[in-house]
Amino acid sequence: MSQLKPLPAHLIGGNFLLTETDPALVFTPEDLSSEQRLMAQTAAKFMEKDVLPNLEALEHQEEGFTPKLFLKAGELGLLGMGVPTDYDGLGLDRATTVGVEEQLTRLGGFGVTCGAHCGIGTQPLLYFGTEAQKKKYLPKLASGEWMSAYALTEAGSGSDALGLRTKATLSADGKHYLLNGTKMWISNAAWAELFTIFAKVDGQHVTAFLVEKTFPGVSTGKEEHKLGIKSSSTRRVILEDAKVPVENLLGEVGKGAYIAFNILNLGRFKLGAGAIGAAKETIKVATRYALERQQFGRPIASFGLVQQKLADMATRIFAGESAVYRTAAMMDEVCATGETMASMNPPFLRGLDEFALECSIIKVACSEILDTVADESLQIHGGYGYTEEFPAARTVRDSRINRIFEGTNEINRLFIPGLLMRRAQRGRFPLVQAITKVTKELLDMPPLAEDAPDELAAAQALLVNAKKLALFVSGVAFQKYGEKLGDEQEVVASLSDMIIDVYLAESALLRTLKARQAGGGSAAMADLTLAFVNDAVGRLELKARQALAATSQGDELRAQLGIVRRLLRWSPLNGVALKRKIAKRLCEVGSFPALVAVK
pLDDT tens string 200-219: 999 999 999 999 999 999 99
How far is 553 from 258, CA to CA, in rounded Å?
41
Q: Which helix (H) or strand (E) holds 239?
A: strand 234-245
**Local structure of 412: helix, strand or coil:** helix
Angle at 185 between CA 184 and CA 186, to 5 degrees: 95
| Residue in 354, 406, 455, 541 annotated catalytic | 406
In this prediction, residues 380-392 reach a mean pLDDT of: 97
What's the confidence (pLDDT) of residue 443? 64
For the chain, the first-to-last Cα distance in angstroms comes to 50
Give per-residue pLDDT as tens, 66-76: 999 999 999 99
State mean pLDDT over 66-95: 97
3-state secondary structure of 343: coil
Percent of the chain with pLDDT over 90: 91
Q: Which pLDDT score, from 0 to 100, does residue 75 have? A: 97
Percent of the chain exceeding pLDDT 70 equals 98
Average pLDDT over residues 367-380: 98
3-state class (DSSP) for residue 426: coil
pLDDT at 353 (0 to 100): 92
Residue 154 has pLDDT above 60, yes or no: yes
> Looking at domain 256-411, what is its CATH homologous superfamily?
Butyryl-CoA Dehydrogenase, subunit A, domain 3 (1.20.140.10)
Contacts made by residues 221-224, CB under 8 angstroms, sequence distance 24+: 221/182, 221/189, 223/61, 223/190, 224/185
**Would you state the pLDDT for residue 441?**
84
- Is 406 designated active site? yes
CATH, domain 430-597, list 3.30.365.10, 1.10.600.10, 1.20.140.10, 3.40.50.2300: 1.20.140.10
Residue 276 has a pLDDT of 98
CA distance 119 to 135: 18
Contact 107, 231 (CB under 8 A): yes
> How far does Cα 597 stand from its chain's mean position?
24
pLDDT number for residue 450: 56
Using DSSP bridges, classify how beta strands 348-349 and 340-341 pair: parallel, antiparallel or unpaired.
Answer: antiparallel
- The confidence score (pLDDT) of residue 525 equals 96
CATH superfamily of the 149-250 domain: Butyryl-CoA Dehydrogenase, subunit A, domain 2 (2.40.110.10)
pLDDT one-digit tens code per residue, 517-551: 988 767 899 999 999 999 999 999 999 999 999 99
Instruction: Write the pLDDT tens digit of every residue in 508-518.
Output: 999 999 999 98
DSSP 461-516: HHHHHHHHHHHHHHHHHHHHHGGGGGG-HHHHHHHHHHHHHHHHHHHHHHHHHHHH
CB atoms within 10 A of CB 345: 10
CATH 1.10.540.10: which residues of the chain?
Answer: 30-147
Looking at every residue in the chain, the average pLDDT score rounds to 95
pLDDT of residue 439: 86
In the chain, residues under CATH classification 1.20.140.10 are 256-411, 430-597
What's the rounded Cα separation, in Å, for the pair 396 and 219? 32
What pLDDT sits at residue 2? Answer: 56
**pLDDT reported for residue 1:** 44
Contact 448, 569 (CB under 8 A): yes
> What tens digit of pLDDT does each residue of 429-478 get?
999 999 999 988 886 655 555 567 889 999 999 999 999 999 999 999 99
What does the alpha-carbon distance between residue 37 and residue 97 come to, in Å, rounded to a whole number? 10
How far apart CA 581 and CA 595 sit, in angstroms, is 11
> Do you know the residue count of the chain?
599
Task: Look at strands 205-212 and 218-220 and give their pairing.
Answer: unpaired
Architecture of the domain whose range is 30-147? Orthogonal Bundle (1.10)
Helices (H), ranges, 336-454? 350-353, 356-381, 391-399, 409-425, 431-441
The answer to whether residues 528 and 508 touch, using CB atoms and an 8 Å cutoff, is yes
For 48-102, the DSSP string reads IIIIGGGHHHHHTT-TTHHHHHHHHHHHTTSSSTTS-GGGTS----HHHHHHHHH
Predicted local confidence at residue 4, as pLDDT: 87
- pLDDT, residue 442, reads 82
- As annotated, the residues of the chain forming the CATH 2.40.110.10 domain(s) are 149-250
**The pLDDT of residue 164 is above 90:** yes
* pTM of structure: 0.96
CA distance 331 to 11: 8
Identify the residue with better confidence: 2 or 143: 143
Instruction: Provide the pLDDT for residue 599.
Output: 74
| Angle between the N-to-C axes of helices 575-589 and 523-549, in degrees from 0 to 180, rounded to the nearest 10 | 130
Higher pLDDT, 357 or 522: 357
The pLDDT score that the predictor gives to residue 181 is: 97
When pLDDT is cut at 50, 70 and 90, the band that residue 162 belongs to is confident
Res 123 pLDDT > 70: yes
Name the residue type at position 122: T
Cβ atoms of residues 548 and 557 within 8 Å = yes
Average pLDDT, stretch 96-110?
Answer: 96
